[in-house]
């Protein structure tokens, strides 16, 4: 294989095709025509001297050589990104950029970490993507971001996770609700109420469903709502009860109270998740380090946990 026949452009195009699983889709993303991308792949394959891709029933697959090349491309392109960051640092201070995707509820938590970080590193550009669980999972699979925030992380191939904050789930009702002042409400009694909850697949719902299942119970009366905000408004209006992350209740909120239910709050944790198979940009690493160093000062110290350094060590980052 001739080094001079390999260009960074070819590597970029290749990585895009693999990531999108389609030559046509990669062409659209790169603003090239489909024959251009097809020809670039051909040139790359010729430079390597091996087939890189194969189509089986319309599905794009990497050959072994294609897999090996893909990893090498990611490493080289990632090293170029590092180089750029290093050069920017030389020019003046710390800069760079990274992207972070989080489930809806995390938007109540993450600004307390991102805010101080942006103050300490004003030149770093942070892109924040917020969505429901399914949307964030999709972004994870498409490798669109550098860091992912889940409260109940799925079991993901290529994922490395670190808990950083407890995320207790509590039961809430309106102040005037019959169960509002009761002690130790039993689960059978509770399940007589109507439950307001998010779409299937949301972490809170999944955790609550599985918790009920371990007790041989399940919900009878429920109403699905599209956002936590809608749930809060509905609970306050007496439409029912709900399990929510304690984070979504601002301090001083009136009209809503937590219920005393056996076995609650449910313990879950906020996690930082990164892909093992993808290079973590300098700025993202810096953020994770900064976050780990400032958990106590930015969040309630009783709720924090420090696994982020382990995560970075796992990735070979110190």
Partner DNA sequence: GTAATATATAGATAATTATCTATGGAGATT
Partner DNA sequence: AATCTCCATAGATAATTATCTATATATTAC
Q: DSSP assignment, residue 249?
A: S
Least Cβ distance, residue 78 to DNA (angstroms)? 19
Least Cβ distance, residue 181 to DNA (angstroms)? 57
Interacting residues with a copy of itself (CB under 8 A): 1, 3-4, 6-9, 12, 48-51, 54, 56-57, 63-65, 68-69, 72, 75-77, 79-80, 82-84, 86-87, 90-91, 95-97, 142-143, 278-279, 281-283
Half-sphere exposure of 99 (CA within 13 A, CB side): 12
95 and 85 Cβ atoms separated by less than 8 Å: yes
- The partner in contact with residue 43, picked from DNA, a copy of itself, none with C-beta cut-offs of 5 to 8 angstroms by kind, is DNA
Least Cβ distance, residue 121 to DNA (angstroms)? 30
Distances (CA, A) of 304 to 53, 67, 258, 271: 45, 39, 22, 11
Closest CA to 234 of 263, 280, 196: 196
Closest CA to 289 of 264, 255, 313: 313
Least Cβ distance, residue 284 to a copy of itself (angstroms)? 10
- The partner in contact with residue 282, picked from DNA, a copy of itself, none with C-beta cut-offs of 5 to 8 angstroms by kind, is a copy of itself
- Region of 58 on the Ramachandran plot (φ > 0 left; ψ -120 to 50 alpha; else beta): left
Residue from the set 14, 16, 18, 36 that interacts with DNA by CB under 7 A: 36
Applying CB under 7 A, which part among 9-17, 110-118, 172-180, 278-286 lies near DNA?
9-17
Distance CA 242, CA 194 (A): 8
Smaller CB separation from a copy of itself, 87 or 223: 87
Smaller CB separation from a copy of itself, 190 or 284: 284
Q: DSSP assignment, residue 161?
A: E
Question: Two tokens at 245?
Answer: 């992350």
Strand residues in 142-221 grouped as ranges (E)? 147-150, 159-166, 169-174, 195-197
- In the block, residue with structure tokens 């780990």: 292
Applying CB under 7 A, which part among 41-49, 86-94, 112-120, 157-165 lies near DNA?
41-49
Smaller CB separation from a copy of itself, 138 or 306: 138
Whole-number CA gyration radius for the chain: 24
Residue from the set 1, 9, 134, 199 that interacts with DNA by CB under 7 A: 9
Question: Two tokens at 234?
Answer: 């509905």
Residue 5 in the binding site for DNA (CB under 7 A): yes
Residue 158 in the binding site for DNA (CB under 7 A): no
Residue 278 in the binding site for DNA (CB under 7 A): no
- The partner in contact with residue 87, picked from DNA, a copy of itself, none with C-beta cut-offs of 5 to 8 angstroms by kind, is a copy of itself
- The partner in contact with residue 91, picked from DNA, a copy of itself, none with C-beta cut-offs of 5 to 8 angstroms by kind, is a copy of itself
Residue 40 in the binding site for DNA (CB under 7 A): yes
Long-range CB contacts (< 8 A, 24+ apart) of 62-70?
A: 62/18, 66/18, 69/14, 69/44, 70/14, 70/15, 70/18
Residue from the set 29, 50, 60, 212 that interacts with DNA by CB under 7 A: 60
Interstrand relation of 147-150 and 96-103 (parallel, antiparallel or unpaired): parallel
Smaller CB separation from a copy of itself, 25 or 82: 82
Catalog residues that contact DNA under the rule CB under 7 A.
Answer: 4-5, 7, 9-10, 13, 22-25, 31-36, 38-43, 53, 55, 57-58, 60
């Amino acid at each position: 294989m001739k080094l001079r026949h390999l260009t960074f452009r070819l590597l970029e195009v290749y990585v895009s095709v693999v990531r999108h699983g389609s030559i046509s889709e990669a062409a659209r993303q790169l603003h090239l025509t489909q024959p251009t991308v097809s020809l670039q792949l051909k040139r790359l394959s010729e430079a390597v001297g091996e087939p890189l891709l194969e189509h089986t029933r319309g599905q794009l697959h990497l050959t072994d050589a294609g897999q090996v090349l893909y990893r090498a491309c990611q490493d080289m392109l990632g090293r170029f990104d590092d180089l750029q960051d290093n050069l920017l640092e030389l020019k003046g201070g710390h800069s760079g950029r990274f992207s972070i995707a989080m489930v809806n509820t995390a938007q109540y938590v993450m600004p307390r970490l991102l805010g101080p970080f942006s103050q300490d590193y004003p030149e770093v550009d942070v892109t924040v993507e917020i969505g429901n669980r399914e949307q964030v999972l999709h972004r994870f699979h498409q490798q669109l971001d550098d860091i992912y925030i889940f409260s109940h992380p799925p079991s993901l191939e290529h994922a490395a996770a670190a808990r950083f904050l407890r995320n207790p789930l509590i039961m809430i009702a309106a102040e005037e609700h019959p169960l509002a002042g009761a002690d130790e409400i039993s689960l059978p009694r509770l399940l007589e109420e109507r439950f307001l909850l998010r779409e299937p697949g949301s972490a809170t719902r999944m955790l609550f469903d599985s918790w009920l299942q371990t007790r041989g119970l399940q919900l009878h009366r429920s109403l699905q709502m599209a956002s936590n905000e809608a749930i809060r408004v509905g609970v306050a209006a007496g439409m029912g009860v709900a399990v929510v992350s304690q984070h979504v209740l601002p301090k001083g909120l009136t009209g809503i109270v937590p219920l005393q239910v056996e076995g609650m709050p449910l313990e879950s944790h906020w996690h930082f998740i990164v892909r093992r198979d993808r290079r973590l940009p300098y700025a993202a690493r810096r953020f994770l380090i900064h976050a780990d160093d400032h958990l106590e000062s930015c969040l309630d110290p009783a709720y924090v946990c420090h696994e982020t350094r382990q995560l970075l060590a796992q990735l070979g980052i110190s």
